[in-house]
Amino acid sequence: MDNLSIVTGSFATLQIPSLTLRQKSQVVPPDVSPEQLRHLIQEMFVCMYQAHGVGIAAPQVGVLWRLFVVDLQQRDPEQRPLVLVNPTFTEMADEIEPGTEGCLSIPGYHSDKVPRSRLVRIEGFDHNLEPITIEARDYLARVFQHEYDHLDGILYIDRLASMDDLIADAAQIKARQVTDRIYNAGTPVDAVPAM
């Protein structure tokens, strides 16, 4: 629990070059205090929502535990917020698809060419430490793989064939904002949802 108490004072999303993002996280101990776990999960959701993200992993808030949360309700109102503690992939289809990802820990960038498996089955424990199994395809499968990578200290940029596949958002967003202001009088511009 020591590693948790260090950071409970200020949860903020860590960004590159924080070394925490590059470390392998530890299994959440089965005897973790439910209150402490609930507190951490709440703080992770707060961080994620504040940053308009769709997922966040514990290492991104400085806690090296194998735990992440996901919320795709913005994309699909049917989706409920998900918590995965000590997750493992029990299935990962060979079919790989390039797709769009940004990361809360790498602000200002995204890529449209991050290769991920289209279909996965993930098993772990929910916020009450009850066993949970989820089969996911396409975007949810992608988010799971992105967040799971964080638990092993892997970032999506590590998955790119070339750094040329990394796109700087700032200039792009600025250009779009100018265009929007001219044509749509202030339509809000969404960046690529990060995770």
Catalytic residue numbers? 147
CB of 193 to Ni ion, least distance (A): 11
Cis-peptide, bond into residue 30, ω within 30° of zero? no
Per the CB < 8 A criterion, the answer to whether 87 and 124 are in contact is yes
Amino acid identity of residue 129, one-letter, is: L
Pick out residues in 63-102 that bind Ni ion (CB under 5 A): none
CB of 155 to Ni ion, least distance (A): 7
Nearest residue to Ni ion, by Cβ distance, number only:
103
Binding residue count for Ni ion, defined by CB under 5 A: 2
Q: Which residue, 14 or 195, has its beta carbon nearer to Ni ion?
A: 195
Site membership for Ni ion, residue 114 (CB under 5 A):
no
CB of 13 to Ni ion, least distance (A): 9
Spatial distance between the Cα atoms of 76 and 92, rounded to a whole number of angstroms: 23
Question: Tokens in use for 129?
Answer: 């430490």
Site membership for Ni ion, residue 61 (CB under 5 A):
no
Site membership for Ni ion, residue 103 (CB under 5 A):
yes
- Tally the C-alpha atoms within 13 A of residue 119's C-alpha that lie toward its C-beta: 4
Site membership for Ni ion, residue 4 (CB under 5 A):
no
- Tally the C-alpha atoms within 13 A of residue 123's C-alpha that lie toward its C-beta: 4
Q: Which residues lie near Ni ion (CB under 5 A)?
A: 103, 195
